Amino acid sequence: MTISEHITTFAGRPVVAYPPAGEPPADPAAVAWRIEDPEYDGSEEFERRLTGLAAEPWVSQVTALVIGAWGSAYDSGPPVDLIAGVAPQLSALDALFLGEMTFEECEISWINHTDVTPLLEAFPRLATLTIRGSEGLFFKSGRLESLRSLTFQSGGLPSDIVRAVGDSELPNLTHLELWLGTDNYGGDATVEDLVPILAGGKLPALTSLGLRNAEIADMVAAALASAPIVARLEVLDLSLGMLSDVGASALLAGQPLTHLRKLDLHHHFITQPVMDRLTAELTEAGVEVDLSEAGDPEDEDERYIAVSE
């Protein structure tokens, strides 16, 4: 699977390109505004569009921003200083997606980043932050009281990002999603790096946890079998990865999962008998179990994560 289409909604709002094709929406706060440079190698168009949005008389009503291609993302990080510089005008911003590109614009493993800490400092109201790509990414741990949803989409998430999330105090975060990826693309995080997250001490409000797109899905599942955080979850998402009978059986043998609202395992390599056990034991308790996109469990050499390059 590759990311071939742009998102159409973000943070519960429809995405609208800036500048709009016609009249702007009656309520600028009801949409997520998309800023991008249409030129593959980059131009000044990204800056023109961002500063144009910042100059609109209704800019103080904007609540969500989707940053697409900023030009030459394959060899340069996002213009963090430029985006942070319009923060005084975007005073109501509470949702930000950084790096929302398709594979035709830039493969996920090629998207360059930099230190995104200035964005968190510039937009203290952020409740939703999603970042796609991880090359050169730096995320400083800290206390982030406003965040409710934090997502890192990657073909290979570096261990220092995972540890920074685990070291952060996120008292109001309800949704955490990490695409761990593969070591071939920089995803060197281990279960040890996940320990603070699985302990849940700094995530008292978390109800949805996604440890997705993981080459180490079986090891993650085994750790989750006894992880304290699981008892508080409503949604557990191990989809897009290389989960096999080993990990699925560990989940079945571990702590009860019948309190979950949803267990998402789609894109996996689990055999039919173990799928039958998961279905029998969990759906009877009212848990929605997604076991779609089953791969061939017999050939271990042909197992793969859904999103890598």
pLDDT at 40 over 80: no
User: Tell me, what amino acid is at 155?
Assistant: G
List, for residues 118-174, the tens digit of each pLDDT value. Answer: 999 999 999 999 999 999 999 999 999 999 999 999 999 999 999 999 999 999 999
For residue 15, list its beta bridge partners.
Answer: 32
pLDDT at 99: 96
Give residue 286's pLDDT.
96
| Mean pLDDT, rounded, for 55-80 | 93
Q: What is the pLDDT of residue 97?
A: 98
- Average pLDDT value for the chain: 95
Residue 133 to residue 215: CA distance in whole angstroms:
17
Domains plus CATH for the chain? Answer: 1-134 (3.80.10.10), 139-147+156-309 (3.80.10.10)
From 170, 187, 166, select the one nearest 126 (Cα to Cα): 170
- Listing DSSP states for 223-291 in one string gives HHTT-GGGGG-SEEE-TTS--BHHHHHHHHHSS--TT-SEEE--SBB--HHHHHHHIIIIITTT-EEE-
pLDDT tens, 197-252?
999 999 999 999 999 999 999 999 999 999 999 999 999 999 999 999 999 999 99
pLDDT digits (tens, 9 = 90+) for 257-297: 999 999 999 999 999 999 999 999 999 999 999 999 999 99
